[in-house]
Structure formats: structure tokens, C-alpha cells
Structure 1
């Protein structure tokens, strides 16, 4: 190995000398360092090295290049390397593979009441206070942009001592004092920045666990924020704010610096969180990974579930396009977004008397309301739209007027800033066909109303045909018990699963629109640099918000059933989810008004905390079954080994079909006139009463015949496991496309429901 170091050093010196001598005449580009994650043959460490880190350093010409050594989640390290160093390492017999670092982005109350967590009835035989008290033993880790510790959502009033099993810490920074900022609620706060700094794309934040973005504070408080009375955003959504598991402990792992989240930092955070002893992890981050073995979230989550830690992830904000769902590994719970029954209505009254409805969080000067103003819709060049991009508005055209802007191309709040900078006095933000009827409220820097596509089309036509268009904007505050709700939102990413289509994703949906939660007081509600307003709570939308709702619910299930595996908790949440809104209709999809949602958008349905605590039956998945699943994807043994981190695994008994894994939902793939029969066997465990009996119910499209054997499951005792086999037979000559149904096991106490998605491919 000493010869390898000498060779690397010599090559570096010669390369630098060559570049120096030819700097004035050579056209060759100067090589730059990039961050790489290196997968090592862990077992080949020579015995004279006391640690793997010492051994890893011998593979580097500059030992300062080493950023992280991974212990729990990965057999390897992260380092900054020149291209020629990467090639030399690839030739080493101790190196399995090398991956360039990837980057992730954040997927950007009334929800406890909406979810039934405010009631005093019994939850799995416990009162709500008893349930909350049990949750004090549960530790939630949040991988995000840090935490704002001064928020009242992180107060520890009434909490007992920190669990003795906790091995984590709070890390000191220039703006973060562990003695002042951590307590019995916020028991851990650390940061990871080496990968981000090495990329040169990190924001100029002080290195500390503190959140200067808001995203991490919002997600952490949504999952487990303490009870705070009289919370609101400038009077909107006023009430008592609380997380889903308000008595659970919190540990913050800062991996995002503004909008930059390096995969190498995420992997290091997983490593630390597992060693610290968290019970549940919340990860509202994503990128477009195309394999599980090169995705730090999938890698970290696999190591986590091996240690009994459930990992909850956001599904992504790239809807409504198909196959956009992310974080699709079967060992994580993937969460999409829906509305709740609270809204912030606003009215647009056109000069012709038409009254049109939208939403708004406007909280400025009241004299703006009910004032008749000129409405303009400036369109430049050959464009038939007005996207209100930076520099696109002429102040002489929009000054003193309300500007109609089309949604798309840039951030919604940036459009408001563009109008304000051009001296406009108000904005109507109108949806386009791509965003449908989805209504997201924002706290703009000027009076603004967001409207759906249909209303937007009415306003566009009015402006184009009226010689002197005028408008009056009025604002209705906060209303609750809105119908219909929940509605699947346009931005929520959709299936089919782009990596393993036999696994139905997302798994569930949760509240992800206009969510009130804690916020740093140094960050304006729009997060724009010019927004100097201060608020301790903000209203934000995204699957980033739905993910921690499910994280908190998982913590409650863990509190009631501490012996359950992550797969069991996930199964309980999935099989008890509901699929009908508060009008008793199937879920609607805001992507297109009047259409119904399907499992590619809502998975098993909307999370139902009360029922998840007593699911009746669970689908458990062993680690060996996850390995069989990976083998069925035709990954190489090295690629699988990078995920499972063990030498003695085998693919001799791999699943013939990835859908054979004991998943709580089904995704059935047919090949037209080639593969018309698909057969899966599932195992269910009785977690209800001894002597429970379940009978099957089936709903299937006319193009498929579904047979389940046996049709009745009789459990003699608690913990007993029984199997059933389901056979799906497609009719001949079905056209390419999708259809949906469900399989349900029922008795008087429980309904254990599994959605089924059918896909016909050529």
C-alpha cells in the first residue's frame, strides 16, 4: 500500500509541474476535485490497522482529502479526489466501486384535530394523555436544515428525564450553545457540512446545528412539536399548535445548507443517528436516484431498519406527472401530500360583477381591501402568458395596478416580489393546465390572491376582452371544515415506481398543504432576502410537510407497540389508511377538477392514526426478504453488498418477481398476450385478539379475475402467522394502461386493506 501512496504522490507532482510549465500555452483544462463516495471491501482491512479510517487514509495521496468514514450505513468513506485519483482507486483490489456525490433538495395547527389526535377517547386501550406519556420514550431524528431551538415548539415543560439509552449530543457552534439550547425535548442537534463545503456550493452559513432556512424547524415541529397556545401566521390559522407526537423527543441532524444537501453528508447523518439511538427518522429530502445502491437515503435507511428504526420519507413534489415518485425503496415509508379541511378564502370581484374564489394569506394594510383597482395582464413578445419573471414587468405599465400572473417557471413568492418591485399594488396568481385546481396560500410581500385554472381562465378572458378591466380583492381569514377534504394535490409525485414498478409507491398520503408549524424568527415567511417580517410560525406546503405527519404517527405506534419492527409499523399505517373524503366520496385529484385519485397518487390512502394503533393484522418483512428483493432486481453482488453490508448473503433463493416481497400493497404487471397470470403469496401476523377470524373481500376491474385462497383466515392466538395466495388473471387483448382495485381482510373489529394497481405493458 506504501507503493500506492508513493505512486499517487508522484503523479500529483508531475501533473502539477506539467500544468505549471504549460500554463501559458496549454489549452488543457485544469483538473478539479470532486467529492466521491468509495465502497470498500471492508473485510480486507489488514490487521495492523486499528481502525478502518486509518486503512482508508492509506488509499489517499492527501489524507486531508478524507471527509467521512462510514461505520453503520456503508462500508467505505467519502473523499475529495482528482479524476486521476479516482481512476487509480478503481483499479485497487480493495475498492468495489466509486460514486460521485449527489445532491438532494428539501421537498417543500389544525392537523392533529383533522387526524383525530385531539380527542379524549381511547387509542389502543389508552387515553390520549397515557399515549402521549408513552411517547416520551420515543426519539425522532430529523435530517433537514437544522433547528431553531428558541421556538416554543421545542419547550420541555412537563417532560421527564432524557432516556438513559440516548447516546447522542448537542454540538456547539458560534450561534448554538448546547447548555442553553438543548433540553429534555430537543436532546440532540448536530451538523454535517463536509460534502457540501467540498462541492463549493454551500451557502455562507455559520457552521452549527442552527436552522437559517426554516425547513428543518417546520418539519421537526410538525412531527413532534410541543403544545403552543395562540399560534398563527399573522392571525391566520390561529389556534393551538402541536406536533403529531408532542411528547416525543427530538434530535436534529443538519445536512442541508439553504437548498444544498450533499449525499455524503446525508449518509454521515444516518450513520450518527443510528449510533445515537433514534427510534424513527424523518427525511423530507429527495433527488432523482435511479438505483438503490447509489442513493444515500436508501443506503442509510436500510442500515436503519436493520437496527429497528423506521424511516419516513417524502414522495417528492414533481406531480402530477407519472413515475415521478422518489424514495421508493420498500424499506422506507413514502409519503405523498393532500389537503386538510382548513382554508384561507379570498374573493376576486371583477369589474363586471363576477365574484370568483381563491386563497390568500394577505395580512397587510386593511385599506387595500375592497378598493377598486385597475387589472393588467402584460404579455411580452409572442408570449400568450405572463409568468412575472425577474425583469419582465415594465413599471410604467403596472405601477399602481393589480397584475395577473401565470403560475410556473419561478417560485410563487418570487412573482409577488417581481410585481412589488415594478410598483404593482397587488397580484392575482392564476394556475395553468399543469397545476390544475390546486390552491396553495403564500404570505406574499403584497396583497395577492391565488386562484385555480378555471377561475384563472375566466380572469384572463375578462382582461383580454374588457377595455378597462378592474378588480376588487377581499380576504376572508381562516375557515375550517372545508369540503371536500382531503384532496390529493397536484404537486404530489406519482407512481408507478420508476426503480421497482412491482412495489406500489407512494405508500400513503398525509396533510401537506398550508401547514402551520414553527419557524425561525430571523427568516421571513417567504424566505426571500428582502422579507424582513418576523414570525414564530409559518404556513408552508409540500410533501416535506406530509412526511413528518406520518413520522409522528409512526412514533405514536412505536410508543404503543415498542416491540414492533419498522415493517410492522409501516404495515399498520398503510392497511388502516382511508380512501374516502369527508363527503363520503372517493378522493379527488386537484390536478384535474372532477377526476378521482388512484393508488399511484394516494397509495394505500390517507393516514389514520387511531386505527393504525390497532391494525388487527400486519405484514412483516424480514431483512432476508429485502435481500431477496434486491437480488430480483438483477443488481450485481457488489452492488447488493453495498446496501446490505454483509459477506455471507446469497441470491440463490431470490424472488423470481420483486412483487413477491411481503408488501402491504400490490402492483401487478401484465405483458399483453404474454404474461396474463401473476401469483403472489403473502404472510399476515395476528396482532389483534386470540381467536380472530377474517374473511376476504375483493374489488377488481372487469379486465382482471382475482382469486384468493384461502378465503378465510382463522387465528387461534396472538402473534400467529398465516399465509394466503392471490392469483391475478388478465383477460386477453387488454390495451396498455392502468386499472385499480383492492383486497381486504375483514371482521367486526378491523378492515385490513391493500390497494392493487394493475399495469398492462407491451
Structure 2
């Protein structure tokens, strides 16, 4: 569900595929069109529909006419995400020769359908709730198994959120819905798509990079990232100039620092490598501003918030994106000499880079500001410099000045990490067709890892230790998810009780559920929802216990016994009863209780602290480790979304 599809992409070829499943009820809106809007479906791409009534009602007929009603993808986002989720094997995939290899999606054998709900932006809005809900309705009717939804807005009450409402109906009908956490990080409380029936995905790096070095006049080499295909003449140094120093007369210092369009003086920038600061305008837009001002190269330096996160972009001129600390060192060099100089090397493809993964700075973070009793995001997956299929109607930067056309493009965002997990959900549905969306989600969450490839705890973009507010349960591990041992399952009644616990009345709950929806006389608390993570945001500082319950089902092939181990959050005692679960058969369920108590003098009031709970069935290669993050806040007081104390 997003921005349509480019059907000619090799990722959607149907060569060798069998007939469309008989249970499929979807259609192709543009199958018979005679113009450029035509979208031909096949045995791989089996559905393509667009929904724009909400958009047209908002922008009017004239505005809607500027964004043609077609499922064809005009900006590349829909094609990129759909091919990431389930694109077929395509040999020789690359962007300007970088990352060359065989591309494939997470579930390459799956059939795909595109539901277009996003259009040309109007006052900052491009995907409207009416269209999103209509697309969910169509997908449920058509018979989809998994929905990948790389969109979302600011966190809000669930009855005001089109994604939350539409996805609730989808999950009730057995459809797993995977969403992006948002790109508003690294601030606390920025995560969107916070409903517990969604799988909410953050973004992290992988062990592939595209390094391009800035070689300074003092012989120092600064490693950056880029996908620029344009080289500078080798071994020739160019003057380095800060964008502030190259400021145009009518521009502000802030505009020049960010290399906003028109903020640079052509006489000052011509023939030089310009150093710009990351932020506000698009990274590739800064390169175009330098290019138009006559600059020969761009060095894009992070600010302190974005730290060590480097993103490879298809810049229109020689460029490299460097870390905050390297940016500080570069500035010191430029201030130490009257004629600072350097050149930028052509990028190359580097594999098995370390450390990886670490969290992307842009990835939105918890805590969940709508229902703090539910940890969000749920999980993280690769979302930085992801190579996937692209549209033929836009250049790789996505900006109007870019006339280049590519078959594959590299993009970054939680929009890119979301379809990775959607593809995994598709594989799990094929492997375990009787599993519910909650069981699939549980298997993905409880089998993750929280260490990078140096065997150290995962870090954020500043290389400080990350927390579950960044990565949820951890970084996804698809093969382990296929055999999780135990799952935390949840049904429609559980979600009804959750909504009742939030204080929703029958009228509001009717938005989510038709038929009987009366709340129980004593609804359970929100933190008692049978979730694969445990969050207690309001633990008493007096030592009064708080107990939450969970139940797990044995999805192994045989009887099993599991013992629990807990790593307690700082200043909090945790006990689990019973501490051993014995399952006499596959499919059997067991319930357990987790009790929390604050330890006097060992906690900071209002601070979030983290631990984990692991159920294990023994030793050896076939051992299952069912791990859940534990998040607690003691003596909580009201805090703003951007000032949440975190240990």
C-alpha cells in the first residue's frame, strides 16, 4: 500500500510462474488503458489498483488533474518497496555499477499487488485516510496475506488514524500488516504506527557500504559514502570552501550552511569543493545547489544528532557524506591553513563492513506516546542504502532537475526496512499457513539479535549503546523466525479488551469492530495484552508490586520444557511464575505472570530502564531462545515527547 508500481521492472517478471491462484479476487485498474498510464498485470504482478477519492476531495478537480489517476508509479517509492518485499531474482542489478549482483526481494516466489494511495503532495499531505482505508478494504476482499505499508503520520489516537483502523480490519481477517516506524529520529517519542496489531519496523544499517574518500592537502583521508557516478580528475586538488564562506549576499548564514537553493555565491563557489551541513533540505538537493553555483564537488557533513550515520546518494556531482566527528576534524583543517584543498575519490562497493548493523539516526524512536504500555518500534531491519527496482518516470534523486533514468535505485528510510520484514512475514505465512498475524509477529520479534557483527551491543548512529526504544526486540533474523519454539498469540477479543482498557466506548470501538463489542465489566490493563515484549511505564516507587500476565503456545514439533532467565532492569526486581513451562504436546498453551518491584534507592524517578526475559528449552544447536525486551519506568512523571529520561 503506497505509491503504485512500475510493472516493466524485471523484479515483476512472471517467467516460469504458474497460473494465478484461484482464490485471488483482485483486479488491474489500468489493464486496458491505451495511454502511458497502462499497467499490465501478469502471473507475478496480479493486482494493481488506485484510490484517490479522498485526495481529490481535498485538492479539488484541478489539483487532482495534476496527479494522473493511475496505478503507475511516478516517484519510484512504490516500486522500490514492493520489489524489496517480493521482487524476483534479477541478475546484474546495480546503480551506476555500484552494488552489482543479483537482486531479489524477501519472498521472491510470492505474488504481488500494488494499491496506490499516495499522490502529488498538497500542503504536505499526499496519502489520505479515506484512500488508505479504501485500499485496506480492497486488499482484504482480494485475498492478500501480507500488507507492506511504508507510510504513516504523526502518532495519534487509534480511532483518528486511518492506518490503525484499516489494519485492524485486515488483521481480524488474517492479514499481517507491516508498517514503517517513521523517519523523525533520533528524538524520543517520535515513533508512529503505534497500534499493537501492527508490526512496526525501525531502520538500521547492513554490512555493505559505498565508500568515497575525501583526500586532504595534508594527505589525511576521510571516509565518506556516495553513489555519485561522476569522477573528479585524479590526483588534482581543488580548493575547499565552507558553504558559509561561499554565502550569497542575499542569503542568511543558516541557508548557506545548509546549502539551500540559491544560497551560494557563484563567484565564491566556482571551481571549489563546497562543504555543506546536513539537515532540512534533501541531501541530493544540496549537491544540486553546489552544482548550480559552479562548485565541482560536495562534502556533506553530519550534525551532532546524525552522528556516524552516512548515506550513499546518487549525487549529480562528485560528493561524499561524512560523519559528525570527521566534519569537526575537516573544519579544524580548513581553519588551520589559508589554502585548504582536497579531492574526492570515486566510490566503490565494500562488503563485510564493521560495525553493522547500527541504528539509523533518522529512524523514529520510542517510547510509544499513544499507549506507552506497548513497546514501539517492534523490530529493526535494513533501511540504509537499499538497492531495489525503480520507476522510469523519475531520476535517482527523485528531484525534478534529475533527468537520469535507472532500473535500480538506492534509497534509505524506514520505508525501506518495512518491506524487508513484510517479505519475511510472507515466507512465514507460506511455511506456517495456519499462523495468525500475531503469531507471525511474535516469531519475528522473539528470534532477533541485539549484537552487531563485532559481537558488541547494537549502537545508535553516535556509536552509543542503543536501546529497545530504537530497535524494539532487535534486528530481524529470518531463518530463526521460521522455528521460534513458542509464540505469543493474540486474537480479536484480546484487542477488544485492549481498546476497552484505553477507555474507548462502544461507539468508538464500533470503528474497529462490527457485531458484539461490549467491554467486560473489569477490563484488563493495557500492559496485559499478550504482547511479545513487556512494558510497565508506571511502576510504583514505593515498592508496590505490579504483575502482568502472558501466555505462550508451543509451536515446536514435539513436547517441550522451557526455563526462564531474566536480566533485570536497573533498580527493578523481576520474578516470573512459574519459572518452568512444560508442554505435553505441540499446540499446547501455558500462562505465566511477571511481577515487578522497584528497589528502594536504586532507581531514578521517571527514567526508563531496560532488561530482557528469555525462555529456553535447553542446550545445543536446536535450542530455542524466546527473547522478549522488558521496559520499565519507576515513579513516572509527565514528560514531553522529546525529553524522556532513558538509562
Are 1:147 and 1:216, in contact at CA under 8 Å, matched by a contact in 2?
A: yes
Q: Does 1:707 align with 2:575?
A: yes
Secondary structure at the aligned position of 1:285 is classed as coil
Output aligned runs, 1:548-567, within 5 Å. 548-567=419-438
What is the deviation of 1:674?
5.3
Q: 2:321 maps to what in 1? A: 450
Are 1:370 and 1:473, in contact at CA under 8 Å, matched by a contact in 2?
A: no
Output one character per residue of 1:344-378: Cα deviation in whole Å (capped at 9) or x when no partner. 011111122221111111112x4434320011113
Q: 1:728 maps to what in 2? A: 596
Q: Does 1:750 align with 2:608?
A: no
What is the deviation of 1:656?
3.8
Output aligned runs, 1:232-271, within 5 Å. 232-259=94-121, 260-271=126-137
Q: 1:287 aligns with which of 124, 138, 153?
A: 153
Moved more, 369-378 or 187-196: 369-378
1:363 to 1:676, Cα distance in 2 relative to 1, 3 A: farther
Output aligned runs, 1:174-213, within 5 Å. 174-177=35-38, 181-200=40-59, 202=64, 204-213=66-75
Q: 1:739 aligns with which of 585, 589, 609?
A: 609
Output one character per residue of 1:619-642: Cα deviation in whole Å (capped at 9) or x when no partner. 000111101101111123211221
Are 1:631 and 1:654, in contact at CA under 8 Å, matched by a contact in 2?
A: no
Are 1:670 and 1:677, in contact at CA under 8 Å, matched by a contact in 2?
A: no
Structure 2: gaps (5+ residues): 638-647
Q: 4+ runs of 1 displaced by more than 3 Å?
A: 366-370, 380-385, 653-656
Q: 1:618 maps to what in 2? A: 487
Moved more, 353-362 or 654-663: 654-663
Are 1:193 and 1:255, in contact at CA under 8 Å, matched by a contact in 2?
A: yes
Are 1:685 and 1:722, in contact at CA under 8 Å, matched by a contact in 2?
A: yes
Secondary structure at the aligned position of 1:301 is classed as helix
Output aligned runs, 1:101-140, within 5 Å. none
RMSD of equivalent CA atoms: 1.5
1:675 to 1:196, Cα distance in 2 relative to 1, 3 A: farther
Are 1:195 and 1:265, in contact at CA under 8 Å, matched by a contact in 2?
A: yes
Moved more, 439-448 or 727-736: 727-736
CA distance in 2, matches of 1:198, 1:250: 29
1:537 to 1:208, Cα distance in 2 relative to 1, 3 A: same
Are 1:676 and 1:731, in contact at CA under 8 Å, matched by a contact in 2?
A: no
What is the deviation of 1:342?
0.1
Are 1:283 and 1:311, in contact at CA under 8 Å, matched by a contact in 2?
A: yes
Q: Does 1:640 align with 2:509?
A: yes
Output aligned runs, 1:470-489, within 5 Å. 470-489=341-360
Q: 1:759 aligns with which of 629, 633, 639?
A: 633
Query: Normalising by the residue count of structure 2, what TM-score does the alignment of the two structures yield?
Result: 0.93
CA distance in 2, matches of 1:289, 1:154: 34
Q: 1:377 maps to what in 2? A: 242
Are 2:534 and 2:629, in contact at CA under 8 Å, matched by a contact in 1?
A: yes
What is the deviation of 1:204?
1.7
CA distance in 1, matches of 2:630, 2:9: 43
Are 1:324 and 1:493, in contact at CA under 8 Å, matched by a contact in 2?
A: yes
Q: 2:87 maps to what in 1? A: 225
Q: Does 1:169 align with 2:27?
A: yes
Moved more, 290-299 or 385-394: 385-394
Secondary structure at the aligned position of 2:510 is classed as helix
Structure 1: gaps (5+ residues): 1-142
Q: Which has the larger radius of gyration?
A: 1
**Aligned pairs, how many?**
614
CA distance in 1, matches of 2:71, 2:149: 16
Q: 1:664 maps to what in 2? A: 532
Are 2:181 and 2:414, in contact at CA under 8 Å, matched by a contact in 1?
A: yes
CA distance in 1, matches of 2:89, 2:77: 19
